Amino acid sequence: MAAVRFGTDGIRGVAGASLTSEIAYALGAALAAHYPAGNILIGRDTRPSGPGLSAALAAGIRSGGATSINLGVIPTPGLAAVVAADAEVACGVVVTASHNPAEYNGLKVIGRDGRKVPDALERELERMIDERLAAASSDDASADSAGADSASTTDAHDDARGAAYAARYAAQLVQVAAVATPNRAAAGIRVVLDASNGAGTPFAESALSATGATVDGMAMGEGLINDGVGATSPAALGRRVVELGADLGIALDGDADRCAVVDEHGVLIDGDVVIGLIALDRKRRGLPGSERVVATILTNSGVERQLREAGITLQRTPVGDRHIAEVLTLGSPGFGGEKSGHLLFPEHAPTGDGLISAIELFALLVRSGGPLSALAATLPLDPQVQREISVREGEAEWLLSDPRMSSAIRDAERQLAAGGGRLVVRASGTEPLLRVMGEGPDETLVTSVVDAILAAGSALLAERR
């Protein structure tokens, strides 16, 4: 049986340890076998391990007779957009670990439609990767050394084509800004942009400035990716917003497919509130498809009730923006998102794009005419507690299958349901964690129930170890 390598957001691990050049090379060769015709585009974020993994990936692609084109540093949604727009492109791969610390990296495979490939193809790629790794281990020269040797030189023609693809994405962002904020309508807005020293850095300022907004940048490549900055560490952004008297702050994650938002007081706006505000704004404007919003099982029930009162149905999916994308029809009106900051506008792009999300938020702020804090206050949330347990490989799945843990979860679900709440316990698809989310009107009860699940899980792990 093939090893499970793909999580909810591609293959991910610590670079040089659980994610090696051998794996990247094997993935490249597997993709070449699956897509024997057409070009395969490669992009990456700014992690130190990115160039080496990209080179090994490209070498694997070429070993299978396919053509690789290197776009260099580009956001995941940027690569997705150019893959979807060019019939000569078979697929794309982004070398990124998104919001994870710099020592991690990952491999996201983007299909012909610009979206993450289906689970069935991921399972097939896993099988092919395992076969190639097994074959390489029996040879004198490993796939890693073969990949390094064959990728040591870069074709200048490929570089030129990669730059042209990146320029197409930059032009698309400017076009979205022109549509969302005609005549530079956001000229009265001042924003602080935290690019997380990541993949959005080369594109962010020009895209957001095209709205007319005044953009003050931070973490624009002067430090390490996701190191105390970005969507998962917005405190520094909040302080900078207050210091400059800006109207809001936007923080991208490492591959710029999501954004976090802080108001004019430097306070982080919950991602579910952002989803709700955009959904209500689209409904008020009578946009096609605005009677439905697609979100995940983690989206707050308080937002769901308020959307329902406005005539909007919340359709829930499993966690992961790929599941939201599967429900939304590419190229058609609609909207969906995750509380983590992935917002999907299928009329603009095939996947979540942090910069497009920021542009749409600017437009909403212009239409509202009020401060972001006042808008956010109109959407109160139910108390929600999210915690996690650190686990080793395979332990999250073991915990969820253990009858004692299952019994504890059922008891907790009954307690919360009796008070109008709910519980979600799941294995993280991107990190070695078991995640627990409890929600309900009674915050004390929610906290107690979540703590009980954490205690049960920790006790079982201690016993197993």
**How high is the pLDDT of residue 147?**
45
> Region 140-159: what's the mean pLDDT?
46
| Token reading at 223 | 């430090």
- Identical fold for domains 6-154 and 169-377, yes or no, is yes
Cβ density class 373-405: b for 16+ within 10 Å, e for less: eebbeebebbbbbeebbebeeebbebbeebeeb
Side chain identity at residue 147, one-letter code: G
Name which of 60, 62, 67 is nearest 88 in CA terms.
Answer: 67
Is the CB of residue 390 less than 8 Å from the CB of residue 432?
A: yes
> Region 343-369: what's the mean pLDDT?
96
**How high is the pLDDT of residue 249?**
98
Mean model confidence pLDDT for the chain: 93
Q: What is the DSSP string of 227-244?
A: SS-STT-THHHHHHHHHH
Q: Does 207 have pLDDT greater than 80?
A: yes
- Residue range 209-263, pLDDT digits in tens: 999 999 999 999 999 999 999 999 999 999 999 999 999 999 999 999 999 999 9
142 — pLDDT class (breaks 50, 70, 90): very low
**How high is the pLDDT of residue 150?**
42
Residue with the bigger pLDDT between 150 and 434: it is: 434
Q: What are phi and psi of 188, to 5 degrees?
A: -90, 5
**How high is the pLDDT of residue 226?**
97
160 — pLDDT class (breaks 50, 70, 90): confident
**How high is the pLDDT of residue 370?**
85
3-state secondary structure of 315: strand
Lowest mean pLDDT among 327-331, 387-391, 460-464: 327-331
Domain boundaries, the chain: 6-154, 169-377, 384-464
**How high is the pLDDT of residue 376?**
97
37 CB-contact burial (10 Å; exposed 0-12 / middle 13-18 / buried 19+): exposed
Is the CB of residue 217 less than 8 Å from the CB of residue 36?
A: no
- Residue range 289-320, pLDDT digits in tens: 999 999 999 999 999 999 999 999 999 999 98
- Most distant pair of Cα atoms in the chain: their distance: 67
> Region 394-412: what's the mean pLDDT?
95
Q: What is the DSSP string of 191-255?
A: EEEE-TTSTTHHHHHHHHHTTT-EEEEESSSSS-TTSS-STT-THHHHHHHHHHT-SEEEEE-TT
Is the CB of residue 419 less than 8 Å from the CB of residue 442?
A: yes
Q: Does 358 have pLDDT greater than 70?
A: yes
- Residue range 449-460, pLDDT digits in tens: 999 999 999 999
Q: Does 152 have pLDDT greater than 70?
A: no
The domain 169-377 having CATH identifier 3.40.120.10: the answer here is yes
Residue with the bigger pLDDT between 137 and 26: it is: 26
Strands 39-44 and 89-95: parallel
- Residue range 174-205, pLDDT digits in tens: 999 999 999 999 999 999 999 999 999 999 99
Residue 205, CA atoms < 13 Å, CB-side half-sphere: 11
20 — pLDDT class (breaks 50, 70, 90): very high
Distance CA 359, CA 175 (A): 11
Q: Which architecture characterizes domain 384-464 according to CATH? A: 2-Layer Sandwich (3.30)
Please report, in angstroms and rounded to a whole number, the separation of the first and last CA atoms in the chain: 25
Beta bridge partners of 194: 218, 251
Residue with tokens 């794009």: 353
3-state secondary structure of 86: coil
Distance CA 149, CA 275 (A): 47
Q: Does 103 have pLDDT greater than 70?
A: yes
> Region 341-348: what's the mean pLDDT?
95
435 — pLDDT class (breaks 50, 70, 90): very high
158 — pLDDT class (breaks 50, 70, 90): low
Can you give the pTM of this predicted structure? 0.90
User: What CATH code would you report for 6-154?
Assistant: 3.40.120.10
Provide the percentage of residues in the chain whose pLDDT is more than 70: 95
Residues forming the active site: 98
37 — pLDDT class (breaks 50, 70, 90): confident
| Token reading at 53 | 């993994």
| Token reading at 152 | 């040591």
> Region 74-84: what's the mean pLDDT?
97
**How high is the pLDDT of residue 144?**
44
Is the CB of residue 83 less than 8 Å from the CB of residue 41?
A: yes
Name which of 209, 206, 188, 128 is nearest 366 in CA terms.
Answer: 188
3-state secondary structure of 110: strand
Q: Does 140 have pLDDT greater than 70?
A: no
Q: Does 149 have pLDDT greater than 70?
A: no
